[in-house]
Amino acid sequence: MDTIVSDPFFEHMPRFFNLTFKELLAAKHPTAWVEFENDQITQQQLFNKFFADGRQFDGEALIDHMVH
């Protein structure tokens, strides 16, 4: 039996930010996601650092969007 996994980064996250995937890649901080995945920063630090230009967003709303 196969396991189906959906990675929210490719579809849900761009939709939440109203960006194309290409635009999201250009706007995100270059290391924040990797730092979070490697447990070097907390979830809140990821939210604060996610965009290279420092723009802020509602992290809890992002989580809710990805879960539902």
Q: What tens-digit pLDDT sequence spans the chain (68 residues)?
A: 566 677 777 888 999 999 999 999 999 999 999 999 999 999 999 999 999 999 999 999 999 998 87
Which residues have a Cβ under 8 Å from the Cβ of 62 and sit 6 or more positions away? Answer: 13, 16, 47
Q: What is residue 57's predicted lDDT score, i.e. its pLDDT?
A: 97
- Residue 24, token pair as written in the block: 């999201």
Ordered by start, the domain boundaries in the chain are 30-68
Answer yes or no: are the C-beta atoms of 29 and 52 closer than 8 Å.
yes
Q: What is residue 16's predicted lDDT score, i.e. its pLDDT?
A: 96
Using alpha carbons only, what angle is made at residue 30 by residues 24 and 36, rounded to the nearest 5 degrees?
95
